[in-house]
Amino acid sequence: MVYFILKRMVQSVFVMLAVAFLAFSLFRFVGDPITQMTGVETSVKDQERLREELGLNDPFIYQFTRFTGDLLKGDFGFSYRTRQPVAKMIASRIPATLELGVVALIISLLVGIPAGVYTALKPRGVLTQTILMTTLVGVSIPTFVIGIMLIFIFGVQLGWLPTFGRGGTVQIGGWESSLFSVDGWRALLLPAITLGVYQLTLTMRLVRAEMTEVMRSDYIRFAMARGVPTASLHYRHALANTMVPVITIIGLQFGGVIAFSIVTESVFQWPGMGLLFLESIRFVDIPVMGVYLVVIAFFFVLVNLVVDLLYVAIDPRLRIKDVS
Amino acid sequence: MIAFVKKYEGLWLFVHSPAAIIAAIVAALIFVGAVFAPWIALVNPYDLASFSLFDGLLPPAWEDGANPKFILGTDDQGRDMISSILYGARLSLVIGLSALSIAAVLGVGLGLAAGYYGGRFDAIVMRIADVQLALPAILTALLIDGIARGILPASIQQDLRVAVLTLAIALSLWVNFARTARASTFLQMNKEYVQAAIMMGQRPTRVMFVHILPNILGPLLVIMTVDLASAILLEATLSFLGIGLPADSPSLGTLIRIGMQFLLSGEWWILWIPTLFLVALVVSINILGDFLRDVFNPRLR
């Protein structure tokens, strides 16, 4: 067990190094940092002096080590566009994206798991067929169209909910949260549903497939023959055994949530990291692009580590293996 | 008789699946319309002389104040909506199909080689695939687009938008092909016909492309259909985000982005008609993909 976790941690470090290398290459080879920093009137001699001062003439491996060291110290450099420290720009955007992503994930699980269980238990029901057809259409409708539709119905036609921005936020120790005010929740609802719909269909399909598989297994048949009450059979025996793959998918879905939050944030003008990344691509703001990558990769790695730990918590067989 | 039924099983299933038939008809209609757009369309949306501002913001033919000439109405520039959509679908399909072809050639080639040679080459290809799989396609495409913006000189960027977009989509979709081709190749490697071909001393490229490839086409075809839908969606999303194509050569995604400006005013058709076309196209391709998967994978039926 300890060995397993340690191995995963070493792997994570290598993944982070690879991403840092990618970010560094972006920074170093896409465009010339010197031309980005200086104006037209800077003489070639001054440019060369700046190049030397910033250490851009040093050997590659030396520069990369320094870059990684700076990243570890939390020094992410300055944006080409706003001239502000990138660390500050990203940090101010993290709460918006995380809250959006987590609420979307919760919506997808709260609806997706029960729907998956139901469709697996009653495969021939009318409701099941309707749900399955709806999800097929749901997968095919692009995220931004779902967002526009929600804005149109609930924002424009009914006028119930705001159509852009975060609404009222509450400051809690530097964390700008929209979870503690009615206004914030109203603004959060539409983007979170938009982001959650696609993940919801994935969760549902997976739970359905796993449940169908488990219901056919010998131990379920035996439990049935033993006369275990239906509810206990479905939820204690069957559903519990589908949880390992479901947790894997939640880990993977986190990636999807972050990526699609770029689209959702753009539709709702939600001031999160995705919107910042989009702006940085539009203006070729390489430092922001690079740091966004590193931050996202860090979240990925973290979530995957937590998922590995959860396996052990959920599946007792993994704990026994360790003893032997 | 049994051979006959087996051979035409797919066709038999198709005739008995109303969803697949409707999907095929919708997809075919949009496809034909897109191919023949220059001959069908009333105006050419790229040619400023072919439309007039005086025809701007006309509603569809069934609403009050419409001009029957423009069946689905016009946008604020006076462009006929049908024409814009046909040309937009044309661009979406061209980019989607080219990106798909590049992804398929690259992915199947690498997957076949990885399955055939195994060992270190296989390990390298699959590690790259794993890393890319961890990054969602849209993030990869955005990143490639951003890098292209940084590397290419500004003077040629506008001309290369379509190429950059196609490449960005292709490079985010090849992994599916590579993984499927590799897994199927592994299964074929142990079969006698492959062993015999290798033993006869045939060149590896010949074994891969003449012997193995025809036997793994089924699953690849399914991926191709599903990924065509993904490619079209990806292009639409990038164009919607304003990263894809510029407004003077609108694809379906760009049309929807332009239509967003009319969300709050009464001109609903400028937004919803292109959206409807995009969704209809993608839904039909996905239904066909699901159908093909059932045909090639009888266990799931």
Chain B contact present for A145, CB below 8 A: yes
| Whole-number pLDDT of residue B102 | 95
Lowest mean pLDDT among A100-109, B67-76, B192-201: B67-76
Host H or E run for residue A46: helix A44-53
Mean pLDDT, range A81-107, rounded to an integer? 84
Nearest C-alpha of chain A: how many angstroms from B130?
Answer: 11
Host H or E run for residue A177: strand A175-177
Instruction: Tell if the CB–CB gap between B260 and A148 is shorter than 8 Å.
Output: yes
pLDDT at B300 over 60: no
| Whole-number pLDDT of residue A50 | 75
Q: Say if CB B213 and CB B188 are below 8 A apart.
A: no
Instruction: Tell if the CB–CB gap between A144 and B256 is shorter than 8 Å.
Output: yes
Q: How far apart are the first and last CA of chain A?
A: 11
Residues of chain B in Cβ contact (below 8 Å) with chain A: 131, 134-136, 138-139, 142-143, 145-147, 149-151, 229, 233, 236-237, 240-243, 256, 260, 263-264, 271, 275, 278-279, 282-283, 286-287, 290
Which residues in chain A touch residue B142, judged by CB atoms under 8 angstroms apart? 262, 277-278, 281
Which residues in chain A touch residue B139, judged by CB atoms under 8 angstroms apart? 258-259, 262, 296
Question: Which of A281, A291, A294 best tests the B interface by mutation, with the highest count of B CBs <10 A?
Answer: A281
pLDDT at B73 over 90: no
Chain B contact present for A132, CB below 8 A: no
pLDDT band at A72 (very low <50, low <70, confident <90, very high): confident
Chain B contact present for A282, CB below 8 A: yes
Mean pLDDT, range B161-168, rounded to an integer? 86
- Residue that wins the pLDDT comparison between A289 and A156: A289
| Whole-number pLDDT of residue A324 | 39
| Whole-number pLDDT of residue A119 | 87
Chain B contact present for A141, CB below 8 A: yes
Chain B contact present for A255, CB below 8 A: yes
| Whole-number pLDDT of residue A320 | 57
CB count in 10 Å sphere of residue A257 = 24
pLDDT digits (tens, 9 = 90+) for B189-216: 888 888 888 888 888 888 888 888 888 8
Instruction: Tell if the CB–CB gap between B282 and A300 is shorter than 8 Å.
Output: no
Question: Which of B92, B241, B267, B285 best tests the A interface by mutation, with the highest count of A CBs <10 A?
Answer: B241
Instruction: Tell if the CB–CB gap between B136 and A260 is shorter than 8 Å.
Output: yes
Nearest C-alpha of chain B: how many angstroms from A156?
Answer: 7
Nearest CA in chain B to A263: B241
Instruction: Tell if the CB–CB gap between A152 and B263 is shorter than 8 Å.
Output: yes
ipTM: 0.77
pLDDT at B298 over 60: no
Instruction: Tell if the CB–CB gap between B142 and A31 is shorter than 8 Å.
Output: no
pLDDT digits (tens, 9 = 90+) for A131-180: 888 887 777 788 888 888 888 888 777 878 777 777 767 777 667 777 77
Mean pLDDT, range A289-303, rounded to an integer? 84
The domains found in chain A, sorted by start residue, are 34-75 (no CATH), 86-140+196-319 (1.10.3720.10)
Report chain A's mean pLDDT, rounded to a whole number: 79
pLDDT band at B267 (very low <50, low <70, confident <90, very high): confident
| Whole-number pLDDT of residue B98 | 93
- Residue that wins the pLDDT comparison between A261 and B130: A261
pLDDT band at B70 (very low <50, low <70, confident <90, very high): low
Which residues in chain B touch residue A280, judged by CB atoms under 8 angstroms apart? 146
| Whole-number pLDDT of residue A81 | 75
Length of chain B: 301
Mean pLDDT, range B183-192, rounded to an integer? 85
| Whole-number pLDDT of residue B50 | 66
| Whole-number pLDDT of residue B14 | 75
Among residues B5, B15, B3, B43, the alpha carbon closest in space to that of B250 is found at B43
pLDDT band at B301 (very low <50, low <70, confident <90, very high): very low
pLDDT digits (tens, 9 = 90+) for B241-260: 877 676 677 788 888 888 88
Nearest C-alpha of chain B: how many angstroms from A315?
Answer: 24
- Distance from chain centroid for Cα A195: 11
Instruction: Tell if the CB–CB gap between B135 and A255 is shorter than 8 Å.
Output: yes
pLDDT at B56 over 70: no
- Residue that wins the pLDDT comparison between B60 and B81: B81
**What is the SS3 string spanning chain B?**
CHHHHHHCHHHHHHHCCHHHHHHHHHHHHHHHHHHCHHHHCCCCCCCHHHCCHHHCCCCCCCCCCCCCCCCCCECCCCCEHHHHHHHHHHHHHHHHHHHHHHHHHHHHHHHHHHHHHCHHHHHHHHHHHHHHHHCCHHHHHHHHHHHHHHHCCHHHHHHHHHHHHHHHHHHHHHHHHHHHHHHHHHHHHCCHHHHHHHHCCCCHHHHHHHHHHHHCHHHHHHHHHHHHHHHHHHHHHHHHCCCCCCCCCCCHHHHHHHHHCCCCCCCHHHHHHHHHHHHHHHHHHHHHHHHHHHHHCHHHC
| Whole-number pLDDT of residue B99 | 93
